[in-house]
Every structure is written in C-alpha cells, then in structure tokens.
Structure 1
C-alpha cells in the first residue's frame, strides 16, 4: 500500500553534535520510515561546509537495504560531474542487487564548493552532467558496449559483467534545483524521472518555477519521442507537522533560523535575508512562499493541496529533513504524516469510513 511519501536526506546535521551518532540517526530514521510505510528515502552526497556529513551515500544505502523491507532507497544524488560513469553504473547495479530492486539512481551536477576541492570549475558541472548521462543510462539499463571519449573520462568497449537484478531496468531520476532548465530538459531528452525542489536554495534568486520546470521537461520529451509522467515526478521541500500550528512552528523556528543563517548564510556565504522580512519572521515567509509546510495535520494537507495546484500535479512528496528540531519531534512529525496526511491523498482511509457510514445508514433505515 503506497503512501506517496518519501524523505530527502541531504543529510544536513547542525554543527556541535557527534558525527557518528548523526550518521547512525539517518539509518535509524529510514528503518522507522520503512515501518511507517513511506515509499522512498533519498541520501545525498556532500563533501564540504560541515553540515552535510555523508560523502559516500552508497554505503548508507547498502546498510539501509539490510535494515528495511519495502521502502525504496535512492541516491539523492550522484554528482555525475566528478564520478566516472563506469563506477556510477557499477555501484548502481550492485545496489540494485542489495536492495532486491528497491534502488533508484538519482543524478545531478553536484555542489560548487565540493567541485572546488576537486579542482573542477563549477561552470563545467552541468556540461559534464550532460556528457556523462547517456553513458550511465546505457551502462545501467542497456545491453550494448559503450564507447565514449571526453576530456575527463574515457570508455572503450565498456559493459558491466554483472547483470541487473531488475529485469525491466533501474529507475533513473535527475535532480532539478530550479536554477537552470538543464535538468528538466535532460529528463525529457532521455525519458527519465525528475525530482524538483519546491523553492531554490536560500540565497539564490530568480529560480525557475515548478510549473516551468515541468514544461521544459515535457517540451524536451516531445522533441525526443518520450513521454513525461507526472506520477514519476517528485517534489522535495521541508515539512513539519504537530498537533497544532503553534506547536509545529515552536518546534522548528530556532532550528530553521540556524539552518538558514548559519548553513546557507555563514557557511555558504549567501545573502539569505528576505527583503522587508524580520529575522524572526523568515520561517513564516518561506512557508507563505511555498518553500516549506509547517503546521497541524489540516495545515499540511492544505499545503500539499496548494502544491498540487501550483504544479499541475506530481507523484511523490519528498520530505526534506533539515534537522530543524529534536529527533523525537521529527519522529512524531513523520508518524502524523504517515497516519493522517498520506491517507487523505491515497484515499486509503475512505473504505473503512464508507463501511461505517453504510452500516449506520442501514440501521437508520430500519
């Protein structure tokens, strides 16, 4: 029974805590989400700025595969701009086996501060993504030998000797941060899925709207003979739910401020302040702009419905987990999402309700 819910774990963890425990927390959370019937868990790759502690997400995906039963596990994402396509494909197929077909290969250009440490010009990241993507797709899901030569990698008669676990192939998804149309156009060109962030990262102005991201993908797909399916589109944004709106905002307000001003502001060096908005009102401003959903169950349901209207419809909501509050409060939020928010959209609570109402109406007719 699908929930149409997932989580996107960059994962970022506020400074000052034990990194070992933070990494273990990610695995514990995914194990809990598997029991709560979440559909997907995505692990990002980061190498700089201190908050994003996971530089080898495939290791966490492999560990999570042995601790879970049904949840899909995804790279969120592999930076193709600095990984050799053959190594990406090899790891992907191995994870396909370890998860018994529950693995999703997410790809993207990578983070500029990470690229700097690797001696890569950030301006070349999207070019490299476009160069490597077709080779990765063929190595993972094709059956031919790949020959490809660029100024940063070479492939000569390349073919994996380990067959896929999934007979129909692995699902491949590209991440769109909403700053350029590159990712949506590549999604359409190669007929792969797309994960979009509801708003561009703090401090990056003039983002491309979600509706326009989908339009770019559709137009590209039509030009290349593919079809984009909205049920394959994921939208990621922070979501926190509590028993009341006031409690939800109280849970995350201080953690949000540290995430915004310390991580994106101080560490990333961006101007993250919203013009005309006081520091203490930044969370409310982001919620109103559609870049987060915070509130009661009813508030979150209404927020997701607005997001569906704003996008024209999408398949899975990925809850971005930014470490804004205690683990206990995050766990409670996930439980409320699974028990009360998801059934509103999947209609899984309708049948029990209909059964009761039918019994009541029959009794009243006697």
Structure 2
C-alpha cells in the first residue's frame, strides 16, 4: 500500500502539426484542461518554447491564466519557465500574480530551456543555461518570500527589487526540470521542491532516475531535510484502449506526423530517437501503447526506481484524436490509478469474505424466510380458528 496515492497529470508542451489551425490548436489545449479538471486529473503543465514551429506555447503563464478561467480544481503548472530567458524579477512578479488568478492552484516549474535554437535567438550560450537556472531560481525564490534583492550578474541588474504582491499560497510549490544530469535533483533539494523527470522512461533517463533521486535525497539531508518521493513527477508517453491493436490504430498516424518534428531537429544523427518506430519505442519501454494492464506494468517499473513517486505525467503529443485521447484518460482514471493506489482493496476483501461465508449466510437467509412463511401460516390458521 502506498503512503501517498499516485496522482495523474498531463504535460502539454504543446505539440501541434504544421498543417493545423494554430488558434484552434491552442483552444483545444484549453478544452483538454477542462476535461481533465472534470475527470479528476490533478495536475496540468504548460510548456515554454520559441522555435521549431510545433511547440507553439511561448508563455505557460498565459495558458495557465486562460485555463484558470475554465477550471475549478485542477492544479496548473509552468512546465517550465525557461529562467535564463527572463529577468528573474519579472518572472517572480508574473508568478505571484498568476497564483492569485488561479486562486492558489499554481505550481511553479523552472528549467534551463531545452531548445538551443531558443537560446540562439536571444544571443545566449545554451551551455551556460544550467548555471543561470540556479542563479535565477535563487533570486526568484527570495523575491517570492518577500525579500528585497540587490544583485548584479551578466544577465540582470536588480536594485532594491521586491514583489509588492506576494503569491496567494504561503508555500508555493517549486519544481525543477530533471532529465539526465544531477542538477535538477540538487536544486529541488535546495529549494525543498519537486522534480519534473521529463525523460523518466527514455533509456538514459530511466537508468539515471534512481541516481538523481539519491542525489536529491543526499543534498536534502545535508540541509537537515528529507525528500518526500511524492514530489517527484515521472513523465512518459502513454495511450491505452480496450485492446493493444485499437490503441496502436488510434495513435499511429499522429505519431508519424509528430516524428517529423524530431527528425527536423536531430534526423542527421544516425542514433537519434527520431528514427525509431512506435514499436521500437514500446520495446525500449519508452512508450506504452496498449491496455490498462500495460500502463500498470509501466508504473510498477517506475516504482522500482523511485518507490512512492508522486505523479505520473502523460505527455500530450496529439498522437490521437481528441475523442480517443479522452477515452484513454478516462480508462487511466477508471482502471489504472485504482489498481496502483489500492482504491478497491477493501471492496475486494469484502467481496472475497462474502464468498467464503456464502453457504452459512445463504442458509440463514433461507431459514429466516422459512420462519416468516411458517409464522404467516400459523397466523392465518389462528385467524381462521377464531372465525
């Protein structure tokens, strides 16, 4: 039995093909947030990208502000704000305001920025991004705590900077992107935050999952704290249906369209994942296209790496139609999470207990019915005798 129930979330970069209406694409991302909210999914993350044509959300904050008006319960996260691209003072101000607009449902996810092209357009050296992530996060968390910061670096100059509006939440959750390097785990421990493991089921990411978690735990212990595995989010590609054949049919075309984006970036490399087929990704354990049982098996694999991890994040890459996507998510909530969390364990015990005692229980029921029949007959006879 898990100490903390596994949560389900969606990670929406988003990925949208070049031949679709971009306005409708963005609106569909918001519609999906509404559906996730109604279904009981607990987290929804929006990304930040600026090049490549597919991942067309330049501001997770704007998407969250719009989603907040359409939802009431689901937590909304920046997945992630690429901190080196922004003045940390401006980022802190936006995050504080956004927490109020979501009525305290915001999760602040931060990262170095994944696309080198994004850094190039800003005249930045992408090799410095991880150092800048640490710098920016230090300043932003101080500002969100209400501190005044005077600090100058190669990319910002703050003088008496402070947030005149603080977040609605006293303990706004901070999450740090974690892929292969130990940097994310170290920063998560430093700021008592969560980890967004965005390569959790890729071979390299899966192999380093335990190591990065241990890095975070050790860093936290040095600070006199303990890391809680419930703050870890493991992201993966997953689509389920009644049968594996149905699931494959539902995603194959969308997968092939989506692969064009990755071929555009890394197709020149002979070992690039952009060359992989859907079957290859499934064989590697990187993606699950199948049934609820297949999804459960994948989650168990992740639990072996980080027992009790908190949230399974499903990448939304628009491999399937909106209808099939909704059906897959419904099956995740109906069948997969209850199996992982043991939601029906007590019901099963009661079912089995009733089965074990069915003979005496049924016998007593029949005895009770017979007594009632005999009592009624006796009363009828007594009434007749009185007449």
The residue matched to 2:85 in structure 1 has which SS? coil
Q: Using the TM superposition, give the Cα deviation of residue 292 of structure 1 relative to its aligned residue in structure 2, in angstroms.
A: 1.5
User: Which residue in the other structure is 2:365 paired with?
Assistant: none
CA distance in 1: counterparts of 2:335 and 2:270, whole angstroms: 33
Contact 1:264 1:270 in 2 (8 A): no
- The one of 5, 10, 13 equivalent to 2:16 is 13
Moved more, 26-35 or 206-215: 206-215
Distance 2:72 2:318 in 1: 25
Per-residue CA deviation, residues 279-304 of structure 1 (Å, 9 max, x unaligned), is 6x722222232322221111111111
Q: Provide the residue aligned with 1:196 in structure 2.
A: 197
- Are 1:324 and 2:319 an aligned pair? yes
Q: For residues 55-74 of structure 1, what are the structure 2 equivalents within 5 Å?
A: 55-74=58-77
Query: Secondary structure at the residue paired with 1:66?
Result: helix
Larger helix percent = 2
What SS does the aligned partner of 1:81 have?
helix
Partner residue of 2:172? Answer: 170
State the Cα RMSD in Å.
2.4
Compute the displacement of 1:47 (Å): 0.9
Deviates more, 1:189-198 or 1:95-104: 189-198
Q: What is the TM-score of this pair, normalised by structure 2?
A: 0.86
Counterpart selection for 1:292 from 279, 287, 295: 287
**CA deviation vs aligned residue, 1:107-145 (integer Å, no higher than 9, x gap):** 0001211111111111111111111111111111x1321
Matches of 1:225 and 1:206 in 2, distance apart?
Answer: 28
* More displaced stretch, 249-258 vs 301-310: 249-258
TM-score by length of 1: 0.90
* Paired residue secondary structure (1:284): helix
Q: Could you give the per-residue CA deviations for residues 282-330 of structure 1, whole angstroms, max 9, x where no partner exists?
A: 2222223232222111111111111211334411000111111211111
Aligned pair in 2 of structure 1 residues 2, 220: CA closer, same or farther (>3 Å)?
closer
Please name the residue that 1:93 is paired with: 96
Is 1:103 the equivalent of 2:103?
no
Following the alignment from structure 1 to structure 2, what is the Cα–Cα distance between the partners of residues 349 and 118?
52
Indicate the larger mover: 26-35 or 224-233: 224-233
| Larger displacement relative to structure 2 (28-37 or 356-365) | 356-365
- Consecutive unaligned residues of structure 2, counting only runs of 5 or more, are 362-387
Partner residue in 2 for 1:124: 128
* Structure 2 residue corresponding to 1:271, chosen from 254, 269, 272: 269
